[in-house]
Amino acid sequence: MSIHLRKEIERLKKQILLMGAEVEEAVRKSVEALISRDFKLSQEVIEHDEELDHLEVEVEEACLKILALHQPVAIDLRYVIAVLKMNNDLERIGDLAVNIAERAAYLATHPPLDVPIDLRAMADLTQAMLRKALDSLVNSNVALARQVRTSDDEVDALNREMFIVIQDYIRANPERVAEAIHLLSASRHLERIADQANNIAEDVIYMVEGEIVRHKPEVYTDAEPA
């Protein structure tokens, strides 16, 4: 690898890690706004979205510059391609955080819903998946990336449970249908964030091992590193 390419790759790493940190914080704030019914915090997430959009453009431009000027090969090429895909996933997660914040803002201005479900558990698991996906990127840790993939089904199950609970709640409380639908929408957005975190984990596996694992089931065993 030439000195110039090495410098560009290192700069790109810093950019994608900054993007990841900003997106992770946006998700944290949106979840907290939803659970704590914090209207002001929800507005912070919404207003910050433009900055995330700018970061996404900067990362994409950096990737295209490296491809055009340096024509990387092998693992360097896989890294740039993976970052291009992750960058898109992270921008989408940022949009989903805004969607959750918008649901949180609406719900904060209406009486609380007495819905018997632990939304915090789903939010915590989703955020853990995102955190692990980003950590696997930082450390090129394939074992950690594979752990992310095994968690996705659990989030899907929690989202299905939320649908059933909300459906029953609407039947019993038809006058609260609008608020209930907003809460269900927030759950769906969390599930989509988990999907995007799973995509990032798959791209880390591709980046490190050159293996495309998309659409392949991930089976976790105790023999794998924690």
pLDDT at 222: 43
SS3 (DSSP) at 199 = helix
* pLDDT value for 115: 85
R_g over Cα of the chain: 19
**Within-domain flag for 221:** no
**Residue 208 — left, alpha, or beta (φ > 0 → left; ψ -120 to 50 → alpha)?**
alpha
| Model confidence, pTM | 0.90
Q: Label residue 22 exposed, middle or buried (CB < 10 Å: 0-12, 13-18, 19+).
A: middle
- For the chain, how many structural domains are there in total? 1
Q: Which residues contact 103 (CB under 8 A, 6 or more apart)?
A: 34, 182, 183, 185, 186, 189
Longest dimension (CA), the chain: 67
Position 217 in a domain: no
What is the structure's pLDDT at 105? 97
176 three-class SS: helix
Does residue 86 belong to any structural domain of this protein?
Answer: yes
Predicted pLDDT at 219: 55
Tell me the residue range of the domain where 132 lies: 3-209
Sign of CA dihedral 201, 202, 206, 209: positive
The pLDDT of residue 217 is 65
Tokens found for residue 66: 């490296």
Domain contains 39: yes
Q: Report the CATH number that the domain containing residue 115 is assigned in CATH.
A: 1.20.58.220
81-85's contacts with Cβ under 8 Å and 24+ in sequence apart are 81/206, 81/207, 82/203, 82/204, 82/206, 82/207, 83/12, 83/16, 83/59, 84/60, 85/199, 85/203
Q: Answer yes or no: are the C-beta atoms of 136 and 204 closer than 8 Å.
A: yes
In a domain, 103, yes or no: yes
Phi/psi at 112 (nearest 5 deg)? Answer: -60, 150
How many distinct helices (H) and strands (E) make up the chain? 6, 0
Residues of the chain with pLDDT under 70: 1, 215-226
Would you say residue 215 lies in a domain?
no
* 195 domain residue, yes or no: yes
Dihedral, CA atoms, 22, 106, 129, 56, nearest 10 degrees? -30
pLDDT computed for residue 212 by the predictor: 82
User: Is residue 222, in this structure, part of any structural domain at all?
Assistant: no
* Cα dihedral 112, 115, 119, 121 sign: positive
The pLDDT value given to residue 223: 41
